[in-house]
Amino acid sequence: MESIVPFDPIARAEIVESLVMKDNKRLYHRFRGAPYYGGIATADAVGCSFLCAYCWNYGRNLNPSRYGTYLSNSKAASHLLSIARKRSFHLYRITGSEPILGEASLQHLLGVLQTIFREDPRGVFILETNGFMLGFNNELAGHLAFKNIRIRVSLKGADPESFEKISGAKKEFFQYPFIALKQLEEKGIKVWPAVMIDFFDDEEIENLKNILKEYDIKSDLEFETLEGYPFVLENLKRRNISLKQSNPLV
């Protein structure tokens, strides 16, 4: 799949969704237990509206149709529940991709959530998202009003220019994850923003915090750090992105 940056993330989301969704089934390439959040049942899917330079799943998201197996929402949920039972987990997630590319992928996700919450009443699903489609289409956020969902919106830049360089999406789409955060908070859904701190200096982080204040977003900003896989460092070099914070993992 050709991706010349910067691109229109709406058009990309539509194309990617057509590749990774088939009759309400989505492409998954792995299921595993992971140590994050204290232990979580994890589904690795493919396909994203962005193409972030630091993404650990970059190759699969660049060419999503080449990877994985199409699974129904009930089958994907069954794999996650099996891992959770074996590991005594009550946390679940889909990662490595964007869960919400449009209506088809949203409906698939909702089926996964409904099955998990029915089979594990104690279960909590952590939705990791770039927030783009949730902000762009204001009708989508209301579908996520489950009491056991937690939504982590990963912000890709501290300003439109850094957003474009990191995500590959055109800078005029920078505001939509902030709109998503505001809408989700207003609906009473537990949500918070996160940012990869390695790429921003103190002034840029302060600017990002000010933007969150302008949108009246109450949730605290989470900082994550880069995992410096060799191919990630090569992608960063190709896009002329440098680290601005020291990171022992790089």
Cβ contacts of residue 126 below 8 Å, gap of 6+?
37, 40, 91, 92, 93, 149, 150, 151, 152
**243 alpha-carbon distance from chain centroid:** 21
Please say whether the beta carbons of 243 and 226 come within 8 A: yes
From first to last of the 250 residues of the chain, give the pLDDT tens digit: 666 899 999 999 999 999 999 999 999 999 999 999 999 999 999 999 999 999 999 999 999 999 999 999 999 999 999 999 999 999 999 999 999 999 999 999 999 999 999 999 999 999 999 999 999 998 999 999 999 999 999 999 999 999 999 999 999 999 999 999 999 999 999 999 999 999 999 999 999 999 999 999 999 999 999 988 899 999 999 999 999 887 766 6
167 in a domain, yes or no? yes
- Between CA 215 and CA 17, with CA 96 as vertex, the angle to 5 degrees is 80
217 in a domain, yes or no? yes
50 in a domain, yes or no? yes
Domain count, the chain: 1
102 in a domain, yes or no? yes
96 in a domain, yes or no? yes
Please say whether the beta carbons of 151 and 133 come within 8 A: no
1 in a domain, yes or no? no
149 in a domain, yes or no? yes
pLDDT in the model for residue 2: 60
Counting runs of H as helices and runs of E as strands, what totals does the chain give? 9, 9
pLDDT in the model for residue 249: 66
pLDDT in the model for residue 80: 98
pTM of the model: 0.95
Domain region containing 213: 9-238
Please say whether the beta carbons of 160 and 174 come within 8 A: yes
Q: Is 42 helix (H, G, I), strand (E, B) or coil?
A: strand
